[in-house]
Amino acid sequence: MNTEVKENCVITPELVEAGERYKAEANEYFKKQNYNAAIELYTKAIEANPNVAIYYGNRSFAYLKTECFGYALADASKAIELDKGYVKGFYRRAAAHMSLGKFKEALKDYEYVTKVRPNDKDAKSKYTECNKIVKKLAFEKAISVEDTKKNIASTINLDAMTIENEYTGPELEDGKVTLKFMKDLMELYKNQGKLHRKYAYKILLDVKAYFMKQPSLIDVVIGDEDKFTVCGDVHGQFYDLMNIFNLNGLPSETNPYLFNGDFVDRGSFSVECIFTLFGFKLLYPNHFFMSRGNHESATMNQMYGFDGEVKAKYTAQMAELFTEVYNWLPLAHCLNKRVLVMHGGLFSTDDVTLSEISKIDRNRQPPEDGPMCELLWSDPQTQNGRAPSKRGVGCQFGPDVTKRFLELNKLDYIIRSHEVKNNGYEVAHDGKCITVFSAPNYCDTMGNQGAFITLKGKDMEPKFTTYEAVPHPNVKPMAYAHSLLSLMC
């Protein structure tokens, strides 16, 4: 009988045939961009025959598409372990490393491919681009001075910026954002216009000065009969952001909002999104709130499009200023001392208190571990306990972890974002962990609905509004992303 034996597992011809059948079915789901179904079927293929590198390689690609970079990395490494000649495995692993900002590790994989395939132009191109990033980062590290943080804001000279006569867009009044300015700005953006750089810089300088005075955890008070809205990721989908305001009303002192991170990247109207949100923050500072997400960071912005978009629409200097502003974004909000809202999730230890969160030194790029990292990166899981993150950063936390955190801090439940959900939201952990994601048809491919949460101060009971994506101008997601991520979206 023709069988293959590995790791005490007998692979019969029937199992080999089943593995191929599952793979073929998974490939069809992948083509339809139903990546979760593809992952399930690749997993069945692996269970039938765990010795085939391409099954792991294909599942790695599907994990990349669903932003499970930790799982993608593990699968790519397993594929390489099974077949050192499986070049796609090195590509997949490099893409996972790139997605996690681990450029040196990615460079090693691209270098290997160029050695085994010296005539492969694509491999050579990716190696060259990755090498440029590694050298640029090394240079920036070499010239940086540890005890002196470069301050771009202090180098901006607004007086030297003139408003050209032909500029017909919105103007600040006495240097201040007004409701008229915001309405005019949104109309300008709907028509694909551009805010004058002088006003753009002024908004960034003013919002940075405001955030610098805030703690890392913001306490929000909501009156008994007052409505409060929480939105999740919008990811540069400006026209869907406008739809939220159409459905739920413009922000105002009687219609407050909290946007829970990941305002930018992937969607190619990120500049429009962020200036709209920052404008409303300045207009209604006590009734419009913004939490930092994992994409409000330099590495993510360089890879997923925001950095390139700012440079295309404005300047490299402004891109650096955005990084400074993002470093001051609050990390979490506590609503009526009953509900904690953060972008990612909970922690790798059970002893984190609200007081500790409020004292986090956040003026930096997100670290690779610890409470600040976990607030931006963690995800819930269905089983109790904790597990390594599917993303390769942060942790996964179960219902018991959520329960203990809520009891310790005398809270009712948590709201977080960070994950695409088919219905735009998900209620998990016995109703104690709610995910809200506000970018419908994410990346123009996922087919998901978007959602936002409304609640009233009296009972703090979450109500969900869902909606479909609206049309946008023909600029594809990731249009400004780094060329090395062409595999990703």
For each successive 10 residues of the chain (489 residues), what is the average pLDDT? 51 94 97 93 97 97 92 97 94 90 92 91 88 84 58 93 95 97 98 97 98 98 98 98 98 98 97 98 98 96 94 97 98 98 98 97 95 98 97 96 98 97 97 98 94 98 98 95 63
Q: What is the pLDDT of residue 122?
A: 84
Calculate Rg over the CA atoms of the chain: 23
Q: What is the pLDDT of residue 369?
A: 95
Residue range 4-143, CATH number: 1.25.40.10
Residues of the chain with CATH 3.60.21.10: 153-485
CA dist list (Å): 368 to 160, 219, 344, 391: 40, 26, 14, 12
Model pTM above 0.85: yes
Question: Using CB atoms within 10 A of its CB, is residue 456 exposed (0-12), middle (13-18) or buried (19+)?
Answer: middle
Q: What is the pLDDT of residue 149?
A: 58
Question: Using CB atoms within 10 A of its CB, is residue 140 exposed (0-12), middle (13-18) or buried (19+)?
Answer: exposed
In which residue are the tokens 């936390």 written? Answer: 397
Q: Cβ contacts of residue 172 below 8 Å, gap of 6+? A: 178, 181, 199, 202
Is residue 40 within 8 A of residue 59, CB to CB? The reply is no
Q: What is the pLDDT of residue 180?
A: 98
Residue range 153-485, CATH number: 3.60.21.10
Q: What is the pLDDT of residue 38?
A: 97
Q: What angle do CA 394, 400, 404 make, to 5 degrees?
A: 90
Residues of the chain with CATH 1.25.40.10: 4-143
Q: What is the pLDDT of residue 9?
A: 66
In which residue are the tokens 């998901």 written? Answer: 448
List the structure tokens of 151.
Answer: 């301050």
DSSP 34-92: -HHHHHHHHHHHHHH-TT-HHHHHHHHHHHHHTT-HHHHHHHHHHHHHH-TT-HHHHHH
Is residue 123 within 8 A of residue 114, CB to CB? The reply is yes
In which residue are the tokens 């001392």 written? Answer: 337
396 - beta bridge partners?
379, 387
Quick count: other Cβ atoms within 10 Å of Cβ 33? 14
Active site residue: 235, 295, 333, 343, which one?
Answer: 295
Q: What is the pLDDT of residue 489?
A: 41
Pairwise CA distance, residues 94 & 467, whole Å: 36
Q: What is the pLDDT of residue 142?
A: 73
- Mapped onto helix, strand or coil, the DSSP state of residue 257 is strand
Strands (DSSP E) along 181-231, which ranges?
217-220, 227-231
In which residue are the tokens 């609050």 written? Answer: 330
Pairwise CA distance, residues 194 & 103, whole Å: 33
425 - beta bridge partners?
436
Does the active-site annotation cover 482?
Answer: no
- Mapped onto helix, strand or coil, the DSSP state of residue 464 is strand
To 10 degrees, the CA torsion angle through 45, 51, 54, 58? 50
Is residue 460 within 8 A of residue 335, CB to CB? The reply is yes
341 - beta bridge partners?
333, 415
Q: What is the pLDDT of residue 58?
A: 97
